[in-house]
Amino acid sequence: MQFKDIIGQQPIKQRIIGLIQENRLPHALLLWGNEGIGKLGLSIALAQYLLCNNRQEGDACGECLSCKQIKKLMHPDMHFVFPIVKKTTEPICDDFLEEWREMITQTPYFSYQQWMDKIGDGKQGQIYSRESEEIIRKLSYKGFQGDYKVMIIWLPEKMNAICANKLLKLLEEPPEKTFFILASNQPEQLLSTISSRTQMIHVPNIATEDLQPIFGQEVARVANGNYVKALSIQNQAGESKIYFDLYRNLMLMVVRHDVLGVKNWAEQLHEMGREEMKNFLAYAQHITRECFILHFGASELNYLEVHEQDFAPKFARFLSATNIEFIMETFAKAVTDIEQNGNGKIVLFDTGLQLMTKIK
């Protein structure tokens, strides 16, 4: 994957290329930013540029043996670590390499949830403790085809504590000409001892003008720099429509004080799995914000999809400065409770009951 294949992000590309050309690339680089903006693609393009046998001024050549191997995601000196699910006693990422290559070959722009849908059956993904041993083993070998070795870690915040702690020394003092590239959606969830050993580069949302030629002006604006969301809007089959229906149904029952309805709703969402519950709650915070901001009449600050535009103005009248903070905190607390393995049905039911006390 070359830099030219990454949508927009010209300043970031130029910065990365400059670091390599000036021989100032840090041994551990953390690319962080929102989901759907191209961090994984940038990581692979960086690795390809670094490993290319005939490096050009602003990109890899795309024709040498190294570039052809990276195009197939089969270069012996480029390794991947990513969240997986537990299908064996001691799972490692190599168990899922075939699915991983299929996913990236289709597009490097995909969400964590889409990856979990491919491999997880509703389970939560994690980078397990044994992966640290695999990383150490792979990087202990001499480079097969050149001077450099690259380890790309997608969503390092999903590393469990044992794995993360075992990597500390390696991140601080890696083998010669070995580079770590970490691509994170939530760097605040990383151990501080991990992030402090990296050079952090913020990757911004994709500029609307870069998405517009692909998706059109309105979709590009609503997507707000997220390629995955733009594609979802365009296909009109994205997760947001499912979450919107769940949100609308919940709020109708909350306004009517339909306790039994909220109980049944909580059971329905619980059956979708823990990750879907977390994703819904993240969506709930987003759409609540969009509804609340309608009070201020600043349409340019609204990012509503077509199926949300009729509902939002009607529901906005139930939101005010006196209850918005409580509502957002209630959804955020529910996410935390579910992440800590709280009973999903109880957490969701309690969330609905809490909302009834403030939405009238």
Average pLDDT over all residues of the chain: 89
CA separation for the pair 352, 344 (Å, rounded):
12
| Positive/negative CA dihedral, 248, 251, 256, 257 | positive
Residues 156 and 191: beta-carbon distance below 8 Å: no
Query: Distance of alpha carbon 113 from its chain centroid, rounded?
Result: 8
What digits encode the pLDDT tens for the residues 319-348? 988 999 999 999 999 998 988 888 999 999
Backbone angles phi, psi at 78, to 5 degrees: -120, 120
Write out pLDDT tens, residues 175-226: 888 999 999 999 999 988 898 999 999 999 999 999 999 888 878 887 888 9
- In sequence order, the β-bridge partners of residue 84 are 126
Q: Which CATH fold would you assign to the domain 236-356?
A: Zinc Finger, Delta Prime; domain 3 (1.20.272)
Instruction: State residue 250 phi and psi, 5-degree precision.
Output: -60, -50
Count of positions (residues) in the chain:
360
Helix (H) or strand (E) holding 323: none
Token pair recorded at residue 205: 């949302």
Q: pTM score, two decimals?
A: 0.73
Question: What is the structure's pLDDT at 299?
Answer: 65
- Cα-trace Rg, the chain: 22
Question: What sign results for the dihedral spanned by CA atoms 235, 240, 246, 247?
Answer: negative
Predicted pLDDT of residue 232 = 78
Q: 322 near 309, Cβ under 8 Å?
A: no
Examine the pLDDT at 142 and tell me if it is beyond 80: no
CATH class for the region spanning 3-204: alpha beta
Q: What is the DSSP string of 165-219?
A: HHTHHHHHSPPTTEEEEEEES-GGGS-HHHHTTSEEEE-PPPPHHHHHHHH-HHH
- Mean pLDDT to the nearest integer, 73-85: 93
Same fold, 3-204 and 236-356: no
Band of pLDDT at residue 98, cut at 50, 70 and 90: very high
Mean local confidence (pLDDT), 126-145? 86
What is the C-alpha separation between 127 and 265, in angstroms, rounded?
A: 32
The CA-CA-CA angle for residues 195, 200, 202, to 5°, reads: 130
Whether residue 237 has pLDDT greater than 70: no
Task: Give the C-alpha separation, 164 to 171, whole Å.
Answer: 10
For 184, list phi and psi in degrees, rounded to 5: -120, 140
Whole-number percent of the chain with pLDDT over 70: 96
Look-up of token digits 């296909």 = 235
Question: Residue ranges per domain, the chain?
Answer: 3-204, 236-356
* Token code pair at residue 88: 């064996």
CA–CA gap between residue 154 and residue 305 (Å, rounded): 29
Query: Which stretch of DSSP H or E encloses residue 65?
Result: helix 65-71
**Whether the Cβ atoms of residue 340 and residue 258 lie closer than 8 Å to each other:** no
